[in-house]
Structure formats: C-alpha cells, structure tokens
Structure 1
Amino acid sequence: MPTIQESINIYETITPLDWTVFFIVILITVASVLYGNRLKANVNSEEDNFLDLLLMGRKLTLPMFTATLVATWYGGIFGVTEIAFNNGIYNFVTQGAFWYVSYIIFALFMVNKVNSYKAMTLPDLIEKMFGPKSAKLSAVFNFFNVLPIAYTISLGIFLKMIFGGELVTNMAIGITFVLLYSIWGGLRAVVFSDLIQFFVMCLGVFLVLLFSITGFGGLGFLQENLPQSYFNPTGTVGLGTTLVWGFIALSTLVDPNFYQRCFAAKSNKVARNGILVSTFIWFCFDICTTFGAMYAKAIIPNAASDTAYLTYAVQLLPDGLRGFFLAGILATILSTLDSYLFLAGTTITYDMIPKKISAKVNFHHIGVVATGILAIILANSFDGNIKKVWKTLGSYSAACLLLPVLYGYIFPNRIKDKQFVFSCLLGVVATTYWRNAQHTGFWQNVDELYAGIFATTIGLVISSIVANIRSK
C-alpha cells in the first residue's frame, strides 16, 4: 500500500492517465445529454414544451427514475464523509437509516395519493389539497429547502482541492457549468446526465472501500484503530440530538425532488418500485461512504475532516482508478446540484409567480440563473459548513410543513387554506425563536426542531377546534 499523508496537493498526484479517464467520463456525460435531447419528441404547443421541460413529458421509465433519484441524493458527499470521519456509524444512522424509513413510507403509502392529483410541483399539489395561500407559503419553504447551498459548497471544495484558488471563485465556475446544461435541456438533461453519473459515483465509492479492506483489513482493523464511540449508533451526542435527524429525514415526505420524480414517472408502479430499488442502492452507497471515511480516520486521523475522505482516497487508488474516482466525486456533486438548481428555479417561476406569466420556458431559464447566483451568495455566507446548511434549512421544512401535509393526506379536506397557513407560520415563529433564544438547564438540550413541531401541532389542533365550532 502507498504511504498515505494527512495533507497533499491533489493536483500534483493526478497523472496523465487519471486526467484521461476523468475527461472521458465528462465527455460521456455530455454525450448522454445530447443523446437525450435528440430523443425529445416534437411538441406543438408552449404547454407541451413546458411539460417536457419540467417533467420530461411524464415518461420516466424505471431505470431512468431509479438512476436520477439515486444520483440526486448525494451531492453533499463532503458533508456526509465529514460526519463519518468525526463520528463513525453515527453518520450511517443519521444520514442513512432514518432516511430509508422515510423512503419506504413514501413508496408504500404516498405514491398513489401524490400522483392522483396530476400536479406539476409540490406547491401545485398543495394548492389542490388546501388552497392558493397554502401553495404560496409552501413554495417559500420549498425554495429554501432545495436551494443548492450545500452542493454549491461541495463543488467549490472539490474544484479548490484540485485546481486551487478561492472557494467562492470555484463555486461560481462550477455553477456556471451546471447552469449551461440545466437551462438547455431541462429535466431531460438532468436525467440523462444522472444516468452516467449514477454508475460512476456508485462504482467510485465502492472502489475506495474495496481497496481499503484489501489493503488494511476488515472491521477488526477499524475496531483496533478507532474509538469505541465510532461504533455507537448515537455517537457522542446522545439519543435526543440523534433523533433530530430522524425528524429531518421525514422531511423527505415533503421533499420537492421526490415529488418531481413521481410526477414525471410513467406510472405509479414505476415510482413505487423505483423508490424501493433506490433505497437499497442508497443503503449500499452509505455503507461505502461511512466505512470509507472511517478508514480515512484510522489512517490519517489528523487530516482536515471536511476533505479527509478525498485526501485518503486519491492516495489509496492506483493511476487510472484515481481519475475515475475523482470523476465519481464530481458526478456525485453535479447530479444533485443540477437537480436542486433546476427545481429551485422552477419554484420561483412556476409556483411563486402567476401561471399566465411564469409557465414559459424562457422565463424558467431566468429563474434558474437567479437561483444559481443566490446559491453562491448564501454558500459564501455559511463559510463552507455543509452540515450547518442541512440542519438550518431541513429544520424548517420538517418542523413547519411536514405535519400539515401528512394530516391532509390522512384526513382529506379537513384542513382549509387559512388553517394550513396558520399552523405553518406558528411553526416558523417557534423554530426561529428557539434557534435564537438563550436556554439554560434542561432546555439547552431541546432542539429548535422540536419546538417547531410542537408549535405546528398546536396550530393544527387550534385550527381544527375553531373549524368545528364554526361548523356547528
């Protein structure tokens, strides 16, 4: 095995063979986008063209559905591997297991309900369930939920590690590249690029784990070289903080990317089976990234935690495979960034602005560009902290939007437009207050997510009581 250092210049480790493999993968990805666009059927109206732009004409087959859904979910790979590097299998629990439960719930119990509304976006669906005011409010939640801040940071970190320069400059360069193909081909371009990126990213992280096991040994090696807390499901933070991630994972049930893929699927069966197959693939991917980062901790314990996995992997892998792995990391980031960028732009131009103005292809392009610029600005304000981004934005979505939407599924027509808005806004106020207030004693351990969920629940109860009184 090569000697693995805690800090290296990655650019200097890349050989001509690595560059060749790396750019071959990039060219194949571009070719797949071009091929996908050639398959686009001729459309005779602006409405059909817009449907193809947003939902690929509702023609996603099972392989395409699975590939694009899997690829969309892992753009924050530096955040995931940083958690694993610092906390071990706590990462698998909080960023994996909790989410699998949400995926399975969505597949088995929600797909049929979701697709029965024939909506274009999640806010569009909420408007059909509750009313226009609820749709506008949910559009605001969705926009910040899918604003690709974390993935812009990930792309900037990746490019900076290879080429050097300032983080914000690398983020701007990366976003510009993604904007070009996202605008040009819409969801079709995203899906066909995801097909290639799916295979590259999965094989890349598998190779790191395979070479780690063959080079250093299996689980016994990790147990000998890592603290016991790395094998504790709650790490060093305790059950309460761990469960916060469980509630954030449930925000999948109101995640616009899930809904968009389901709306684009050819049938409910494709959507349901695609989510279940994707869940198994995510399980395998999480095993690879979690244990790969744990090997990095065991070998280079003092490396910078946010880039330790990449530093470890590029020294571990031989020439050629190193280039393939780097292409896989880039694919992992791009496949999520393009989806989130596209969907955030859709939220602005389709859900926040009157349809007669917004439902046009060129106007959608403007929204995507505006989203990219805002993502760079906000990514810079978070100082490159991916975990902080997830925690901040995920808390609001899980605390304020999740319960009213689930209540609407379980008890159709029981919540009216104003009741939905009232309960969500109460959750926003409680979450924001708890985040910024000073707490002592027991209350120091109560996360703002719990305060938001409690307030949203109270809002739903009050709304239901008032509605019952008025109906008598």
Structure 2
Amino acid sequence: MTNPVRFAPLDYALIAIYFAFLVVIGVFTARRKVTGESSEDFMLAGRSLTLPAFVASLVATWYGGILGVGQFAYESGVATWTVFGLPYYLFAVIYAFFLAGKVRGVARLTIPDTLQSAHSRPVALLGSLFLFCLVTPAPYTLMLGTMLHDMFGWPLLLALILGTILSVAFVVTGGFNTDVRTNIFQFLLMFTSFAMILGFAVVKHGGVGAMFAQLPPTLRQPSGGLAWPLIVVWYFIAMWTLVDPGFHQRCSAASSPRTARNGILISVLCWALFDFMTITTGLYARVLLPHLSNTVEAYPALSQLILPAGAKGYFWVGMLATVMSTVISYTLIAAITVGRDIVWRFAPQRTGESDVFWTRIGVVVSSALAILAAYKLPTVVGLWYTIGTAFIPGLLLPLLTAYSPRVRVAPPYTFVAMLLGVALPIVWMVLGYKAGGMDEDHYPWRIEPIYLGLGASTLVWAAGRIAGGRVKSAAPAAV
C-alpha cells in the first residue's frame, strides 16, 4: 500500500478471533451427511430460509465490493448513492413485487433450470455460460487477497490462495447452509464496524453537516461531476438485480413466497442504512485525507488516521467480512453453475446426488479460476461496468419471459437474442478500448454498449413474436 496501515497485537488478535469463528461456524454446519444428500438440501438449505436469515444473507452477499465503494465515494461523493444506491433499490423493489413470488413458487433449483423449462436446453447452456461470467468471484477474491497482503505482508499469490481457502473450505461440505450461517455472522460485523468508524469520525472531526460543508462543491452534487448519460447507463446496469443468481437462490430457498418478497424489501432498507454509513465514511476520508495517491485506500487510510488499537482491528474485520461474504456466496453459485448447470446437465446419467458431487468439484474449479484471474483484473468499479454491460442484455429478456408464458417466443429466437445481446456489447467495448478508452467518447457514434445489446435482444424477440406468435412451453427442465 502507498499508505501502509500499522496493526497492534490487539488488532491481530481480533482478526484471528474472526477467522476462528468462521472455522467454528464451518465445522458446525459441515456436520452433514455427505452421501445421499439432496440437491435442495445442499443448494437451497431445504427451502427453509427464515426471514432474518434471508435478509442477512442477501444483504451481506450483495455488498462485496467495499473498497470500490470507498474509492467511488472518495472520487465522486454523493454520486455514489446516485449510481450504486438508488438504482439498485429500485430494481430490488421491482424484483420483490413481480419476481420473488414466481421464483419461489416453481420447483426450480437454478436459473438455467428455469431457462430450460421455459425455452430449451441450448438456451439453458448458453445462459449457464453467461451466468458463470456474471457471478465470477474473481474481483472479490482479488480484493480479499490484497487486504490480507496489506495486513500480514504475505506475497499476493499466497494471500489469494489462503483467503480463498478460508472463505470457501467448508462450503464444499456444508453447501448453502454454511453460506447462510457465515453470512449472518458477517452481516453483524459489517454494520457494527462501519457504525464504529463513523462514530470515531464524528467525535474526532465534527458532525456530518460540518464535514459535508468542507467537501468540494462538485462532490456535494447528485452527479458528483459525472456526466448524466453515464449515470443513466449505471441505471441500466442495475438491472443486474433482475438476473442475479444470488437473488434467485435466496428466493428459491425462502420458506415461502411472502418471506422472499418481504425479505427483499427489508434488505433494501438495510442497504440504504449501510450505504449511508459507507458513503459518509468515504466522504470523511476525502475531507481528512484530500491527497491520497491511490484512492482505493480511502477506508484503510482513514482507519490508520483515526482509529486506536483494537478499534482498527475490528474495522478491518468488518471489511474482511463484507468481502468474504460475497466470495463465499459467489463461489458457491459459480460452482453450482459449473457443476450442475453445465457438467451434470449434460452427463449421461443424472441423479440428485451426482449434481451435488459435481457442485463440490465446481467449488474447487471456480476458486482456482478466480485466483488465476485475480492477477489481471482492473478496478472493481470498472469490472462492475464491464461485466454488467456485457452480460445483462443477453440474460434479461430470456429470464423475464421465462416467467411470462404469454410473451415468450420460439427457442431459436431466444437463443439468437441472448447471443447478440452479449456479443455486440463485447465487440463495442473492444472497439472503444482500441480507440482509446471504454467510455462514451471512444465508442462508435458515442453509443453505450449496453444499449446496443438491449436493442438487439429486443429486436430479435420482436421478430420472434411477429414470426411465430406466443409459445406456451418448451423442453422440461433437468431436475
């Protein structure tokens, strides 16, 4: 780090206690029968998720890019809420009222199961490949490895490997049940650690109003100096919520459709509160440390400036928990995508036990790929933009129409719509990159790639409607 953080023995002790608690939770939840375990048990915790567990798990999983949030708050101020808060609340509420009940009401384990049941097997396979890219834990693995490198001085590769093992080791045996139990613990650490550092900032350096008045005028504006067309693009990227496998998994695992709907609505309130704490903390970093050379260090540098021994360690535990909750959940989802939705779906003989076996293998494969990819990743914010822009257009219409039989089209049209919806944005971003940058100024005709993908997907779907009318059903899902 450019601005190294120094830890006292008490800080390291708290960090060690955190990891010890994770091991205890992992061992406790891993005491399950390995052979004969059903897919619903391993992947959805028997569809028995209570409201508190649903909220804690969803909130913790959906907030893994904590250092990226701090960086964006430091650089763009209030626009962090405009870009990463409000649009996601909006689409989460839409999901709660229009999709949560439908997801819980059908006996589908995964999104590709839904795609196969509604459309076709090729659509399910293509969707599996896109979903794997969408939920890759690589950016969060990189963030976790970097934090461990900064804390303990380990070589980055060793930090990546150890961080991944500590995160996902017990998911191999405990599955989604382990994921949820660790998420509950990490949820509590997230909120209490940021409440603590915000309290220290207010006591030592004045209230939020006084801090806000010291910000550069641009950072006090809703746009934060960002061009409004770029902000609008982030609203389209926020449609990620509608196709996110984490939302689907938790709604499928909820004890009832009502639990799924209410759980999402309560989660929105929790995200709003956590956004207030994280963004305000980032703004304090901007005021108190206005000349950071590497803005991704906003939270670590602020912790070094204002927190005493013990408090600093607890804050870092909270940041670790925020990142690791997403590493755990996304690794499990990526493993399910590889093991069940790709390998098992095309295996000659399929049983409930075999897809659990291949999912366990998928945890290892997904973790290894994430570690390898972590070496070459750009900023987390840039990855959110790139991945969302590339894969949301290809997944959105096929998934939404899967729950609305009256607006489906023939499977070949759906397949082409998916393919073009992803291929065109990727080509457009490559052209922009070669022209000097992945932004509106360098894209052909200044058209954002996500618009191109959504437009192409919609046009193919419209052509399918005109050519073939309504399609009621397709191939049955692999269950």
Q: What is the TM-score with the length of structure 2 in the denominator?
A: 0.90
Match of 1:319 in 2: 309
1:461 deviates by: 1.2
Question: C-alpha distance in 1, partners of 2:130/2:330?
Answer: 14
Q: Which amino acid aligns with 2:371?
A: I
Label 1:225 to 1:444 Cα distance change in 2 as closer, same or farther (>3 A).
farther
| 1:403 equivalent in alignment to 2:397 | yes
| 1:458 equivalent in alignment to 2:439 | no
Match of 2:151 in 1: 162
Label 1:106 to 1:295 Cα distance change in 2 as closer, same or farther (>3 A).
same
Question: C-alpha distance in 2, partners of 1:255/1:271?
Answer: 15
Question: C-alpha distance in 2, partners of 1:369/1:159?
Answer: 21
Contact 1:8-1:311 at 8 Å conserved across structures: yes
- Counting only pairs closer than 5 Å after superposition, residues 63-462 of structure 1 correspond to structure 2 as 63-303=52-292, 304-355=294-345, 356-357=349-350, 359-383=354-378, 385-412=379-406, 414-437=408-431, 443=444, 445-462=446-463
**SS of the residue aligned with 1:203?**
helix
Contact 2:114-2:402 at 8 Å conserved across structures: no
Label 1:413 to 1:117 Cα distance change in 2 as closer, same or farther (>3 A).
farther
**SS of the residue aligned with 2:223?**
coil
Question: C-alpha distance in 2, partners of 1:52/1:288?
Answer: 36
1:443 deviates by: 4.8
1:75 deviates by: 1.4
Moved more, 254-263 or 405-414: 405-414
Question: C-alpha distance in 2, partners of 1:328/1:282?
Answer: 15
**SS of the residue aligned with 1:353?**
helix
Question: C-alpha distance in 1, partners of 2:392/2:442?
Answer: 25
Q: Which amino acid aligns with 2:303?
A: A
Question: C-alpha distance in 2, partners of 1:165/1:23?
Answer: 15
Question: C-alpha distance in 1, partners of 2:175/2:28?
Answer: 14
Could you give the per-residue CA deviations for residues 400-421 of structure 1, whole angstroms, max 9, x where no partner exists?
Answer: 2113322443454622321211
1:146 deviates by: 0.6
1:340 deviates by: 0.3
- Counting only pairs closer than 5 Å after superposition, residues 21-100 of structure 1 correspond to structure 2 as 21-38=14-31, 46=36, 48-100=37-89
Label 1:115 to 1:319 Cα distance change in 2 as closer, same or farther (>3 A).
same
Match of 2:475 in 1: none
Label 1:467 to 1:76 Cα distance change in 2 as closer, same or farther (>3 A).
same
1:72 deviates by: 0.6
Could you give the per-residue CA deviations for residues 174-209 of structure 1, whole angstroms, max 9, x where no partner exists?
Answer: 112223122121111111111111101111111122
Contact 1:26-1:327 at 8 Å conserved across structures: no
Label 1:68 to 1:466 Cα distance change in 2 as closer, same or farther (>3 A).
same
1:150 deviates by: 1.3
Question: C-alpha distance in 1, partners of 2:28/2:304?
Answer: 32
When the two chains are superposed, the root-mean-square deviation of aligned CA atoms in Å is 2.3
1:437 deviates by: 2.2
Contact 1:400-1:456 at 8 Å conserved across structures: yes
1:49 deviates by: 3.0
Contact 1:419-1:463 at 8 Å conserved across structures: yes
Label 1:49 to 1:232 Cα distance change in 2 as closer, same or farther (>3 A).
same
In structure 2, runs of 5+ residues without a counterpart are: 436-440, 473-479
Question: C-alpha distance in 2, partners of 1:22/1:158?
Answer: 12
Label 1:441 to 1:261 Cα distance change in 2 as closer, same or farther (>3 A).
closer
**SS of the residue aligned with 2:309?**
coil
Label 1:382 to 1:8 Cα distance change in 2 as closer, same or farther (>3 A).
closer
Moved more, 205-214 or 243-252: 205-214
In structure 1, runs of 5+ residues without a counterpart are: 1-5
Label 1:441 to 1:221 Cα distance change in 2 as closer, same or farther (>3 A).
same
Label 1:469 to 1:121 Cα distance change in 2 as closer, same or farther (>3 A).
closer
Q: Which amino acid aligns with 1:382?
A: L
1:92 deviates by: 1.2
Label 1:360 to 1:223 Cα distance change in 2 as closer, same or farther (>3 A).
closer
1:375 deviates by: 0.9
**SS of the residue aligned with 1:319?**
coil
Contact 2:408-2:471 at 8 Å conserved across structures: no
1:149 deviates by: 1.5
Question: C-alpha distance in 1, partners of 2:407/2:213?
Answer: 57
**SS of the residue aligned with 1:233?**
coil
**SS of the residue aligned with 1:306?**
helix
1:469 deviates by: 11
Contact 1:75-1:154 at 8 Å conserved across structures: no
Question: C-alpha distance in 2, partners of 1:281/1:119?
Answer: 28
1:444 deviates by: 5.5
Q: Which amino acid aligns with 1:387?
A: V
